[in-house]
Structures are given as structure tokens and as C-alpha cells.
């Protein structure tokens, strides 16, 4: 017993010892593994830290950002990965794949999709603003569906889908994906409603919801099938028809007339447009989506919404093309007037093309124009622009010049407020900015000593500084300091540029005195031997002495210039001839086919003194040449001397006479000629307009679409709330004195001018008047046809109502939307020129989301037995009217062309020629063969012939 116990104790001790040994071995293995892992983690951390430092040392190195993100994701280091993505997204827009990877990694860390995660929502919102991506939109709505369904918030889900459609709905290649996601989501909701209704058939409210939901889905199909998209045939013939068959019991009784025929018509038009677009899509694939192909595609499209989508697609494929961004901005400024749409485009362009100075300048000018930022923020924009590409000489000069021009405008605004103390502070700040800019140019680009480069680049900065001193600050002394201390005396090569001396001279003549101006010219003579155009300085000096000098000074100047020219001309003349020959050779290389055309032209005749005869035929004071020079057309009558001269049309004055010589330009016509008879009493407005061309139009507005009954007093009362008015002029017909429907209003202050522009579309005598800035370079007809156009782009905060009863009023429409819970900002009823309603209206809201909700709740609402149609305002482009050639007049059915007399009008005498003979006189030109049975009108017919013709049987 004891021996066995002892043996068991011994074995137990051995076993325990063995276990301890095993534990020791395991602990050794674990410690060795953990130490290896620690070594690997520390090595990975050091690699990631090294990449992070590289990124932070140069934030604009795109590839370093990509390497940092890739390595962080490979090592699974979440902290470094989030930092890398956040840093890159603040500097550069991310591609679609980078965003999708980010979403995938973040969603794995979420606990539940039914809880709102603000960080994820912010990520999605930033992603949809970088580039056009349908997959990101689909990912966004799929992420939000569980949350909205848990709250039973279908309207919020629909608003999110509508936002996606506003960006991607017209995407020809991939747009059908987001439409399919939208419709499938609505179908799932519909199936849930039907399931609940089958469990409780007595619920009438549920039945009504099902009918409305079916109607809503059919409306979605109608919207989708009216847009040219790929795979739309499958959608129409399969998806849409299957849906109608499956839910036909819930379709309205007038389904065919209300939906089916309309959808088929819109679908046919979309298919036709799709076939034309597929040619460009194929060309895009062949050219690897080049910018040139996109430009041709954009030029083909006429719909603003599709053009915007094409620009977005082009930017996805060519995001670094600065000219493409500039074209997109030009389009956006014309069709997308909303600040919420334009400003993101500017900011996206700068994130893609930070080195394009024009983008920075236009962005800063836009922010200044819209007054969305203050002075300090604008200064930050210009500082960022300079730091974007500091080594580019052209960009530096353009941005600095734009910044100085902005500071000048800022100074002018303070000057209008009569704040003298602040103006003095700003003046010194501008001077310091100009000095710092010119010094910085010298530091960065000191190696460029070429005088041509100075005039092209740095000279612009210094000359603009001079302009500020003499024109804005009225300080000729500071301007002289710039000329003498910087521009001329401080730079030896600038003294050889004659244009700089001329600019200095004219500065003294216009803003200084003639004594300083004479000194400038005599200083220029010291460098006359090495100057680029010395004879120009000599001519200016001679003219100066003729105007301002004494007879003794004129004599001395002539003698001195004669001596100078005797030394310069023998050297200067061959050099000029050589330059002309080189220029001529360059022009011949550019235009190789012009030689034959020049030989065929008549050579000018020279007079006896071997000088070209520059005399032109006599020209009348009203601009008409003599009858030998320009014979009158026989169809145009001459105006009698008693008729007013202002009725004559302005003739086209030829620039070359019959012998090939250039006719000199006519002198400007005086406002009034004493020899002319006074015009009739019905033309006061015309003379007023002619004299007003010589006045200041900075505070003048152009008003159009006026009622013909509106007079100056009515227009004055309508615009008087803007401010004090100086003058009101309504343009009238010269012969009748009636209004032409437009005019001009001069305000005494610039504030009144700006407030008047806000009164655009204010009704006057039942018609909305159009108020726009006056442009002296455009005629009134151009203003009427170009300035005042209704929007032709998608207006997301405005609804278009059609099929309204003619008796509908603004109050009724406003009450209609109030009943649905919406507040209307403005309502405009569309009327004909006579004032009769068209049954159309535009309703504007404060918010685009509110407008989108109002469409869904008010479309199809009954008003006075009319089912009104409600949609987002998206006017089509205006079609150009086909104007017929002058002189052609369309005849009505059965009407022969009227004979005209020598004055181009019909004869007043009655035609006594029988119809039979008159018709026969017009037939000889016909090529149709005569019938044998038809008697000739030239042969005489007796009574028997007439009897046989009348009683002849066919």
C-alpha cells in the first residue's frame, strides 16, 4: 500500500514537473511570437509615419497621397487610413473608387444602419459633390433606405432620390441605373401596402394610398421614358408593360388617354434622339473620351440639362483640362444663375486645376460680385491663388494685377461713402501692395532682362501703379517717383524702350505740366542712339514745341533734330527695311495662296509726281456718296427735301473707291445741322436719344416690354422707389409718335441704379417690365432680342403649371399650395400680348426641396374641373424664327402675286385686260405641253367656236 502510494506520489511529482516544463516552453514561444509582432508593428508604423511626413511636406503631391492610403489600408491601420483619406479629400477631389472603398471600410464599423450616423452622411454629401458618379448616388440611397423605412419617412427618401435624379437622370449611358433603383424601391413599398390591404379589405384609406402609389410609379416611368437613355427599349417593352399588367386593377379608368398615349409619344421622341446621340457615344469610345469629341457632343445638344450632364461626364474623364473648366463655367454663368449651383463649380475647378490663374481670377471676381465674402476673405482667395503656382511668370502677373484692380474698386466704394480717414488708410495699403508686388516680381524673375518681357509682364504692374497715382489718387509726384525711381532710371534696359518714354510724356501732358513733359523728351534724347524707335521720340518732341514752345525753342529743336536724324537715319532705315522684309516673309508663309489673288486686283494709279493719289470722290455730309460712286437702286425712291433727314437709312459707305484707293473715314456727324429743316413735332424722343449718347450712362437702365399706353410719368412712378430719377425717355416711332415699348431711365445715384435692377418684372399697366443695365455698345434691337430672355435652364425652385382654367387668379393658386402646406414666394401668370391668359403659370419657392415636394402633392389636382399639370420649370431652348428674305411676300391660297410699280407698291389703276388674256400672258414661260383640244388664245374665235366649246361632251 505504502509502496504503491509512494510510486503514485513520485509519478505525480514527475507529471507536475513535466507540466511546468511545458508551460515554460509555451511561454517562451508566446513571448517570441509577440516580440516578432511588435517588431512588425513598429516597422509598419515607421513606414506609415515616413509616408505621412512626405505628404505633409508637399500637400499637392497626388501620388504621395495615394501611396499613403494604399499602405495604410494594406496594413489595416485605421487611424492612419482615416488621416490619409481626410487629408487628401481636403486638397483633391477623390475618384469614385476611392470613395467607394472609404464607404466600405466605414460601414464595417457601424453597429446598425437604422441609426443615423452624421459622419457617414457628411462623407456621402462630400462624395456626390466631387464628381458625377451614379454608383455613389446608388450607394447613398441604399445606405439611407433602412433608416427612412424604420421611421416610415417615405417623403425624405423620395427627396433623396430626386436629388440623385437632378444630377444623373439624363446620363445617357448609366442614368437608367438610378431610375431602376428608384422604381424598384417604390415597387417594394407598393407591395407592402397591398399586403396590408389584403389582410384588411375594409380599409378605404389604404386602398386610396395604393391607387396613389400606382399612379406615382407610372409617373416615374413616364419621366424616365421621355429621356434618351440606353436600355430604354427594354424598360418600355418589358418593365413598364409588366408593371401595367401586374397592377392593372389599380390603374385609373382613363389610363390609355392619360398615360399610355403620352408615354408612347414621349418614348418615340426619346428613341429618335438616342439614335443621334449614339454616334457621338461611339466616337467617344474610339477617341478615348477626348475633350474635342465632348465639345462636338456638347455643341450638338440643345437641352441645358443634358449639356450640363455632358460637361460633368467630360470633367470625370478630363479633370485636369483648365480650358474645359472655363467652358463649363461660361455655360453655368449663362444658364445656372443660382449661387448655390455656381459657387461649387468654381470651387471644384480650383481643386482640380490649381495652377490655372484665370480660374482663380474669375472665382474671386464672382465672389466679389455676389458679395458672399468680405474683404479679408477675398484677400485670402488671392493669397491662395498666388501660392498655387508661384513660379509661373504669367500667372503671377495676372493674379497680382487682378488683385490690385480689386483694391482699386474697394477704394472707390469707400470713396463713395465719404469716409476720408478710411480712404487714406486704404490708399497707403494699396501703395504698399503695389510696391511689394513689383519687388516680389524682381526677386522671383530677376533673370529676365529682356525689355520685351518687361512691357509684357512687370511693366503692366508698374504702369498700373502709375495709373492709380494719377487717375485715382491724383498724385503726380508719386507717379514721377515711380517713373524715375523704378521704371526708367532703375532699369537700364527700359531706357531703350521708346514706348515707355512716350507713356511718361503723355502722363505729364495729361496730369502734370508741359515743362516736365519737355524734360522727359530731352532726357529720352540722351538714349536716342540705342533706342528701339528713336524717330518716334523726335516726332513727338517737334510736335510738342509746335504746341507749347516759343519760336526760339522751335528753331533750336529743329536744328537739334536735324543733326540727330542725320546720324540715325542711315542706320535706322536699313534696319527697318530688313524688319519689313522679315515680316512680309512671315506673312507669305502664313498665307501662301494670297499671291494669285493680289495679281488679279487692279493696281492703284500713281500721279505725275510719283505719289499715290489719296483723293476720294466727294462725299455728302449725311454719309451718301455721289451718284457716280454709288448709283441708287431703281426700286428705292429718293426722299424729298421736305421730309426729315432722320428718316433716311444709314447707307453702307464703301471703304475702297472704284480705282482701288482707300476712302478716308467720315468725320463725326454733328448733333444738329442748321441748314436742315427742323423735324416734325412727333420726333422729340429721337433727338433726345442722339444727344444722350454723349452723356454718362453709368446710372442708366434699359426698360423693355412696356405697354404701348405707358407714358413717361407711369414709368417714373414705377421706378421712383429705387431712388431719385434724373430723366425718363420712352422711344417712340418717328412717324406716328407712338411708343415702341422700351425706353431708358437715368438715375442720379448709383444706389438708385442698383435698386432699379431689383425691380425687374414689376408690372406696369398689366405687363411686367424688364429692367436691365444699359449697354451703349448694343442697339435697342439687340437688347430686346438678347438681353431679355426667360430662363432656358432647369429652375429647381420654380414650378411650371399648365392646363389651368383661364379664370384662375394668383390668389387661387396661392391657396392651392397653402392647403398642401407650402409657402409660395412668387406667382407669375403667363398671358398673351393682349392680356388674355394662356392657362399657364410659374410658381417660385424659397427652397428647391420644397418645390420638389410640391410637385408630387399637387400634380393632377383639380381646379374648376381642370386637372392641372405641375412640373419643375425647365423651359426648352427658344427656336430661331425663320425669317424670309427681304422683298419676298407669301401669297395666300389662290392669290396671284401682285404686280408692282416703280415704287415697289401695287398699281392704283384698274386692270381692264380680260382674265383669259391675262392668264395667257403668263403662260409662255411654262414648260408644260399644250393640249390639242385647248384653243389658242391668239387665234380669233367666232360664235360657233364658243358654242362648240360650251356644249362639248367629255
Pair 197, 263 in one domain = yes
Q: Are strands 826-831 and 795-802 parallel, antiparallel or unpaired?
A: unpaired
Pair 482, 362 in one domain = yes
Q: Is residue 669 part of a domain?
A: no
Pair 128, 80 in one domain = no
Whether 154 and 189 have beta carbons less than 8 Å apart is answered as: yes
Pair 203, 262 in one domain = yes
Q: Is residue 680 part of a domain?
A: no
Pair 372, 485 in one domain = yes
Whether 328 and 311 have beta carbons less than 8 Å apart is answered as: yes
Pair 480, 432 in one domain = yes
Of 697, 621, 607, 610, give the one whose Cα is nearest residue 653. 621
Number of Cβ within a 10 Å radius of residue 203: 12
Distances (CA, A) of 230 to 175, 267, 286, 581: 8, 12, 18, 60
What residues pair up with 749 in beta bridges, in sequence order? none
3-state secondary structure 356-411: CHHHHHHHHHHHHHHCCCCHHHHHHHHHHHHHHCCCCHHHHHHHHHHHHHHHHHHH
| Parts of the chain with a pLDDT under 70 | 1-39, 111-116, 390-391, 445-458, 489-493, 573, 576, 579, 589-697, 776-793, 833-835, 876-954
Question: CA-CA distance, 113 to 145, in Å (whole number)?
Answer: 9
Distances (CA, A) of 913 to 897, 900, 916, 918: 16, 16, 8, 6
The predicted structure's pLDDT at residue 905: 42
Q: Is residue 705 part of a domain?
A: yes
Q: Is residue 237 part of a domain?
A: yes
Q: Is residue 142 part of a domain?
A: yes
Whether 515 and 550 have beta carbons less than 8 Å apart is answered as: no
Question: CA-CA distance, 485 to 494, in Å (whole number)?
Answer: 12
Long-range (24+ apart) CB contacts under 8 A made by 672-680 are 673/621, 673/645, 676/645, 677/641, 677/642, 677/644, 677/645, 679/644, 679/645, 679/646, 679/734, 680/644, 680/734
Interacting residues of 592 by C-beta distance below 8 A, sequence separation 6+: none
Q: Is residue 802 part of a domain?
A: yes
Whether 762 and 768 have beta carbons less than 8 Å apart is answered as: yes
Global pTM? 0.58
Question: CA-CA distance, 44 to 122, in Å (whole number)?
Answer: 30
Alpha helices of 591-649 — where are they, by DSSP H?
594-600
Question: CA-CA distance, 133 to 110, in Å (whole number)?
Answer: 24
Cell of 212: 396613389
Q: Is residue 9 part of a domain?
A: no
Q: How far is CA 258 from the centre of its chain?
A: 38
Q: How many domains does the chain have?
A: 7
Pair 418, 486 in one domain = yes
**Domain end: 68, 92, 116, which one?**
92
Pair 272, 306 in one domain = no
| Residue written as grid cell 449663362 | 334
Pair 486, 366 in one domain = yes
Whether 329 and 352 have beta carbons less than 8 Å apart is answered as: no
Whether 92 and 62 have beta carbons less than 8 Å apart is answered as: yes
CA torsion 153-159-164-165 (nearest 10°) is 120
DSSP 178-191: HHHHHHHHHHHHHH
Pair 379, 463 in one domain = yes
The predicted structure's pLDDT at residue 946: 56
Whether 187 and 221 have beta carbons less than 8 Å apart is answered as: no
Parent domain of 127:
95-164
The predicted structure's pLDDT at residue 40: 77
Whether 705 and 754 have beta carbons less than 8 Å apart is answered as: no
Question: CA-CA distance, 388 to 350, in Å (whole number)?
Answer: 10
Pair 270, 306 in one domain = no
The predicted structure's pLDDT at residue 396: 86
H/E stretch holding 863? strand 862-863
What is the DSSP code (8-state) at residue 213? Answer: H
Judged by DSSP in three states, 131 sits in: coil
Tell me, what CATH number does 856's domain have? 3.30.70.330
Q: Is residue 143 part of a domain?
A: yes
What residues pair up with 772 in beta bridges, in sequence order? 702
What is the DSSP code (8-state) at residue 645? Answer: G
Of 460, 350, 414, 430, give the one whose Cα is nearest residue 92. 350
**Domain end: 491, 511, 537, which one?**
491
**Domain end: 873, 904, 932, which one?**
873
Q: Is 901 exposed, middle or buried (0-12, 13-18, 19+ CB in 10 A)?
A: exposed
Pair 174, 271 in one domain = yes
The predicted structure's pLDDT at residue 530: 83
The predicted structure's pLDDT at residue 328: 94
Could you report the per-residue pLDDT of 908-946, keeping only the tens digit for each?
Answer: 444 444 554 444 444 444 333 443 334 344 445 666 665
Whether 804 and 863 have beta carbons less than 8 Å apart is answered as: yes
Amino acid at each position: 500500500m505504502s509502496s504503491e502510494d509512494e510510486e503514485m506520489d513520485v509519478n505525480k511529482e514527475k507529471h507536475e514537473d513535466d507540466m511546468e516544463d511545458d508551460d515554460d516552453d509555451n511561454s517562451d514561444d508566446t513571448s517570441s511570437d509577440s516580440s516578432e509582432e511588435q517588431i512588425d508593428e513598429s516597422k509598419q508604423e515607421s513606414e506609415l509615419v515616413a509616408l505621412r511626413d512626405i505628404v505633409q511636406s508637399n500637400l499637392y503631391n497626388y501620388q504621395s497621397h495615394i501611396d499613403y492610403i494604399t499602405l495604410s489600408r494594406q496594413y489595416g491601420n485605421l487611424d492612419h487610413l482615416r488621416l490619409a483619406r481626410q487629408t487628401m479629400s481636403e486638397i483633391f477631389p477623390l475618384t469614385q473608387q476611392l470613395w467607394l472603398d472609404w464607404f466600405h471600410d466605414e460601414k464595417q464599423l457601424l453597429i446598425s444602419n437604422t441609426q443615423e450616423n452624421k459622419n457617414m452622411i457628411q462623407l456621402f454629401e462630400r462624395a456626390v459633390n466631387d464628381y458625377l458618379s451614379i454608383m455613389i448616388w446608388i450607394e447613398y440611397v441604399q445606405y439611407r433606405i433602412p433608416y427612412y423605412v424604420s421611421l416610415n419617412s417615405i417623403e425624405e427618401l423620395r427627396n433623396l432620390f430626386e436629388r440623385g435624379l437632378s444630377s444623373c437622370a439624363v446620363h445617357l449611358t448609366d442614368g437608367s441605373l438610378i431610375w431602376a433603383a428608384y422604381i424598384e424601391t417604390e415597387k417594394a413599398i407598393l407591395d407592402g401596402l397591398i399586403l396590408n390591404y389584403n389582410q384588411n379589405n375594409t380599409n378605404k384609406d389604404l386602398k386610396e394610398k395604393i391607387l396613389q402609389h400606382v399612379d406615382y410609379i407610372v409617373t416615374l416611368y413616364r419621366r424616365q421614358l421621355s429621356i434618351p437613355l440606353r436600355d430604354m427599349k427594354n424598360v418600355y417593352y418589358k418593365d413598364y408593360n409588366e408593371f401595367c399588367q401586374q397592377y392593372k386593377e389599380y390603374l385609373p379608368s382613363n389610363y390609355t388617354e392619360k398615360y399610355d398615349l403620352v408615354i408612347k409619344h414621349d418614348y418615340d421622341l426619346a428613341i429618335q434622339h438616342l439614335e443621334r446621340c449614339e454616334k457621338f457615344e461611339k466616337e467617344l469610345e474610339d477617341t478615348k473620351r477626348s475633350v474635342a469629341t465632348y465639345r462636338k457632343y456638347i455643341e450638338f445638344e440643345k437641352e441645358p440639362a443634358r449639356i450640363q450632364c455632358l460637361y460633368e461626364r467630360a470633367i470625370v474623364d478630363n479633370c485636369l483640362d483648365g480650358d474645359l473648366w472655363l467652358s463649363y463655367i461660361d455655360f453655368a454663368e449663362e444658364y445656372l444663375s443660382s449661387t448655390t449651383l455656381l459657387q461649387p463649380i468654381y470651387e471644384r475647378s480650383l481643386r482640380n486645376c490649381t495652377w490655372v490663374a484665370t480660374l482663380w481670377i474669375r472665382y474671386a471676381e464672382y465672389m466679389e460680385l455676389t458679395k458672399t465674402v468680405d474683404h479679408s476673405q477675398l484677400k485670402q482667395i488671392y493669397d491662395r491663388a498666388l501660392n498655387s503656382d508661384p513660379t509661373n511668370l504669367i500667372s503671377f502677373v495676372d493674379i497680382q494685377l487682378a488683385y490690385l484692380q480689386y483694391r482699386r474698386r474697394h477704394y472707390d466704394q469707400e470713396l463713395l461713402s465719404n469716409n476720408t480717414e478710411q480712404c487714406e488708410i486704404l490708399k497707403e495699403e494699396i501703395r504698399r501692395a503695389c510696391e511689394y508686388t513689383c519687388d516680389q516680381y524682381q526677386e522671383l524673375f530677376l533673370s529676365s532682362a529682356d525689355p520685351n518681357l518687361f512691357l509684357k509682364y512687370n511693366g503692366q504692374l508698374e504702369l498700373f501703379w502709375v495709373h492709380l497715382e494719377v487717375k485715382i489718387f491724383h498724385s503726380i509726384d508719386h507717379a514721377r517717383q515711380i517713373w524715375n525711381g523704378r521704371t526708367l532710371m532703375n532699369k537700364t534696359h527700359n531706357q531703350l524702350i521708346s514706348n515707355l518714354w512716350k507713356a511718361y510724356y503723355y502722363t505729364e501732358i495729361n496730369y502734370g505740366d508741359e515743362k516736365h513733359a519737355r524734360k522727359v523728351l530731352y532726357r529720352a534724347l540722351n538714349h536716342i542712339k540705342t533706342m528701339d524707335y528713336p524717330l518716334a521720340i523726335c516726332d513727338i518732341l517737334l510736335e510738342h514745341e509746335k504746341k507749347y514752345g516759343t519760336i526760339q525753342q522751335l528753331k533750336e529743336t529743329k536744328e537739334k533734330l536735324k543733326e540727330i536724324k542725320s546720324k540715325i537715319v542711315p542706320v535706322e532705315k536699313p534696319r527697318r527695311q530688313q524688319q519689313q522684309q522679315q515680316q512680309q516673309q512671315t506673312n507669305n508663309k502664313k498665307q501662301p495662296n494670297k499671291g494669285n489673288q493680289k495679281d488679279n486686283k487692279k493696281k492703284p494709279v500713281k500721279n505725275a509726281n510719283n505719289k499715290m493719289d489719296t483723293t476720294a470722290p466727294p462725299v455728302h455730309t449725311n454719309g451718301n456718296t455721289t451718284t457716280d460712286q454709288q448709283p441708287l437702286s431703281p426700286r428705292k425712291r429718293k426722299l424729298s427735301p421736305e421730309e426729315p433727314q432722320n428718316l433716311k437709312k444709314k447707307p453702307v459707305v464703301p471703304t475702297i473707291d472704284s480705282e482701288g484707293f482707300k476712302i478716308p473715314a467720315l468725320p463725326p456727324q454733328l448733333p444738329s445741322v442748321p441748314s436742315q429743316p427742323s423735324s416734325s413735332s412727333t420726333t422729340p424722343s429721337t433727338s433726345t436719344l442722339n444727344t444722350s449718347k454723349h452723356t454718362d450712362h453709368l446710372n442708366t437702365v434699359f426698360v423693355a416690354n412696356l405697354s404701348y399706353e405707358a407714358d413717361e410719368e407711369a414709368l417714373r412712378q414705377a421706378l421712383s422707389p429705387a431712388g431719385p430719377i434724373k430723366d425718363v425717355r420712352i422711344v417712340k416711332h418717328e412717324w406716328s409718335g407712338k411708343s415702341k415699348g422700351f425706353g431708358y431711365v437715368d438715375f442720379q445715384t448709383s444706389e438708385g441704379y442698383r435698386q432699379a435692377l431689383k425691380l425687374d418684372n414689376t408690372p406696369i399697366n398689366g405687363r411686367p417690365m424688364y429692367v436691365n443695365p444699359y449697354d451703349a455698345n448694343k442697339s435697342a434691337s439687340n437688347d430686346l432680342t438678347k438681353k431679355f430672355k426667360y430662363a432656358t435652364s432647369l429652375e429647381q425652385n420654380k414650378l411650371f403649371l399648365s392646363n389651368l382654367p383661364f379664370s384662375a387668379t394668383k390668389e387661387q393658386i396661392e391657396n392651392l399650395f397653402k392647403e398642401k402646406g407650402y409657402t409660395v414666394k412668387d406667382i407669375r401668370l403667363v398671358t398673351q400680348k393682349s392680356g388674355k391668359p394662356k392657362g399657364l403659370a410659374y410658381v417660385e419657392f424659397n427652397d428647391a426641396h420644397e418645390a420638389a415636394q410640391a410637385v408630387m402633392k399637387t400634380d393632377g389636382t383639380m381646379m374648376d374641373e381642370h386637372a392641372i399639370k405641375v412640373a419643375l420649370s425647365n423651359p426648352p431652348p427658344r427656336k430661331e424664327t425663320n425669317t424670309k428674305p427681304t422683298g419676298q411676300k407669301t401669297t395666300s391660297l389662290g392669290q396671284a402675286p401682285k404686280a408692282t410699280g416703280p415704287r415697289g407698291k401695287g398699281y392704283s389703276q384698274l386692270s381692264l385686260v380680260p382674265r383669259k388674256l391675262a392668264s395667257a400672258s403668263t403662260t409662255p414661260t411654262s414648260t408644260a405641253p399644250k393640249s390639242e383640244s385647248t384653243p389658242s388664245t391668239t387665234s380669233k374665235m367666232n360664235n360657233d367656236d364658243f358654242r362648240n366649246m360650251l356644249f362639248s361632251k367629255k
